[in-house]
Structure 1
């Protein structure tokens, strides 16, 4: 801040235990005689920032990231509760945090960008940040403290509307009402129009195949959509406010894709089973209490099931009955294990279980002989079942951000493998098994302790060159 506004005042809260100069603008550190370099020496990083560097959470990355994610959710709630105190929406804030062993904050340096702020507005923001840091010490105690940097945006910015264009596409209500050739329209892109009800005009298009109603304020999916538009194939109500008891679908054989992501659903609506030829169902970003396999099983053509960030803590053992599903997305849930019955989904080609809390992958996955892509990064996995060598169609295997000390030898049996990731693990020896994989195009080994300060000066430089000689791109 300029001139007088150098320190953070705590207003009416007068937060105890946090000095007034602990939360400051990064540009004021010199004026306040604060040395970022000295603080960097005093506090080790949370994660290694270069090869061979010691870090506090090097072996406990999942625990740290889970704690960080929970703190971010609390922070967003705090900002939402205090949004009237934000001088402007859409302020980007970058922070450098130096955290004592007891979790309290020694220093936090802030940098605001994304919009022009006056001195007084910056002062108001620092007050708000000081309140947050004073009330929310980091919950994990450490022997020597640590440092961490972050970035977020304070307040929601009104998103610029994405306007779809092309032959047969209409993207405004006015154009839909005025067109004299409704028979030529195949798509209505009514996203981000602040709709609270389904507009009557959509029923005048006899050849409508796709209807995008995403990012509006709808509270109901009426039965008339499927009953009165027999040509409709793809329907999206992504990010609306539709609850469980307001999804009405009539029996039909025309809808093939339904996107219900980001609504107020706690279960898979029973009426979705009325879509007898549905191929793709996206239910992510809801808070599902579970998965009703009986409902899903009625849709015999379902091949794509998206349950991204759906709040799931477990999968039912009956999941194996979904034998026609080819793509299963379980990113960002709270799964601690996968049922062995998952191995009965014989047609599965892509499985995504990244960002969960898995300690192992079941040997039964080796029965998925058609599996081509497996995303299991950001878990706590430390080994693979020997049976995985049977996955002879597997092309992509991402196991980054896990707990591997060595790359399992069974990986060398995956002859079709083209891309493999073991970055951000705890590897201490080079995975020589990878040299045998002739189809391998990309290998990710970064942020592991095996290389030391410089990979090409390490004892493993010759193995890296050997991989590169096989036209394999190695990232270290």
Structure 2
């Protein structure tokens, strides 16, 4: 009877055209979960097959729940302790929520019944009034999104403490010795703009403004005369809202997880910048022109930014030593990458590469190469030029035989060949004199137990050479 009544009410709502979200626990027997999932296909694919569309949805979802937490704060709702819900939201094509199913994360403290009822009422109000801001180019049919909903309790933020550290706005206003402050830790304060009080601290060396709601970065901030490190991770910054004044002190900037679509042009004003992290932005049309004049830049992070190709002038970044290109959509790498002659560490894992270009053999200083989770089946013979390569990770690829060129790498100490399709024991490993660790698990050359396979003697020989073998 109860189920029939619910269906009748929902039917009336549909006929009347009233948009109302239905919120239920995932364990509710009245919810036809299988049918919901069938009618609302997932908006985001598996992580290992992530696309630029997935990245856009990820950012939309994070901002959506972030705004909901602000909504709760304005309504003076704060639980006695932090809660974490696993949620699945079923949206119409226009971004309005139809259903939200939730469950508490395992071992997470539950809200009191009256608090949970209040939270659900506020969540219903928010979802009804605030559709997910999707465009017609992004979606064209109903969809579902799964995510975690974090709601912080009163003591969730641990106030940073220590000599020379300021962690709250009140402490920043009250201190009588701003000259002694070296670190400003204003992460997670729900700031919508850079607070004026920061400019009191003329000797500050590190400022953390991560996990706030900043939409603009004033140039005045980098005019602080001793500022070296600036963390702006997880805000709402766009490239045309980020301004830096010309300086020779800032060495590290973290702009990960913002709303950038390109490198902010004013980044070039940080004349002695060494580290720039831009991961988890939408940089599919990346240009590197603002970086070319930064002759001290040695660490560039482009993790999960939706790149399918690198700019051909990437070779102009001749001073970069560490480059992170994890979780992009490369099917090939430009030969110009081989012009980055100072590269010591390169991460190209979690892409769609079928081969590594021979031009990378020009990176004579390369010491670490992470190329796992691709479709690589061989290495170029020219890789024998990488005489300083210490770490090579080729796990989760499509190697059938171990490349012979491995034997020509005299300084190779750590090698990963796990989760490939190796059909025979890679005897070439016995000729690598400095090999200290090798990973070969999840290959078809042996069954469950390598030491009962025909290759037990080769494994023992490797171990006799002080090589740790993981199988």
TM-score (norm 2): 0.73
Q: How does 1:189-338 map onto structure 2 within 5 Å?
A: 189-227=185-223, 229-338=224-333
In structure 1, how many angstroms separate the alpha carbons of the residues matched to 2:241 and 2:58? Answer: 32
Q: Structure 1: any 5+ residue segments left out of the alignment?
A: 19-61, 94-109, 125-134, 138-151
- Partner of 1:258, secondary structure, is strand
Give 1:317 shift: 1.4
Partner of 2:356: 361
Shift in CA distance, 201/396, structure 1 to aligned 2, threshold 3 Å: same
Partner of 1:474: 469
Q: How does 1:81-100 map onto structure 2 within 5 Å?
A: 90-91=84-85
Residues 131-152 of structure 1 show CA distances to partners (whole Å, capped at 9, x for unaligned) of xxxx989xxxxxxxxxxxxxx8
Partner of 2:35: 15
Give the conservation status (yes or no) of the 8 Å contact 2:48–2:350: no
TM-score (norm 1): 0.72
> Which structure's relative contact order is higher, taking Cα pairs within 8 Å and 6+ residues apart?
1
Residues 293-327 of structure 1 show CA distances to partners (whole Å, capped at 9, x for unaligned) of 22110111111111111111100111111111001
Matched, 1:180 2:176: yes
What is the total number of aligned residue pairs between the two structures? 383
Shift in CA distance, 195/14, structure 1 to aligned 2, threshold 3 Å: closer
Give 1:156 shift: 3.0
In structure 2, how many angstroms separate the alpha carbons of the residues matched to 1:179 and 1:7? Answer: 53
Matched, 1:371 2:391: no
Give 1:117 shift: 6.6
In structure 1, how many angstroms separate the alpha carbons of the residues matched to 2:56 and 2:288? Answer: 30
Give the conservation status (yes or no) of the 8 Å contact 1:79–1:155: no
Partner of 1:41: none
Give 1:453 shift: 2.4
Give the conservation status (yes or no) of the 8 Å contact 1:90–1:114: no
Give the conservation status (yes or no) of the 8 Å contact 2:321–2:343: yes
Partner of 2:106: 113
Give 1:195 shift: 0.9
Give the conservation status (yes or no) of the 8 Å contact 1:398–1:421: yes
Q: How does 1:327-476 map onto structure 2 within 5 Å?
A: 327-476=322-471
In structure 1, how many angstroms separate the alpha carbons of the residues matched to 2:57 and 2:210? Answer: 27
- Partner of 1:277, secondary structure, is coil
Give the conservation status (yes or no) of the 8 Å contact 1:91–1:113: no
Residues 128-173 of structure 1 show CA distances to partners (whole Å, capped at 9, x for unaligned) of xxxxxxx989xxxxxxxxxxxxxx8642354943544432221122
For the aligned residue pairs, the C-alpha RMSD in angstroms reads 3.6
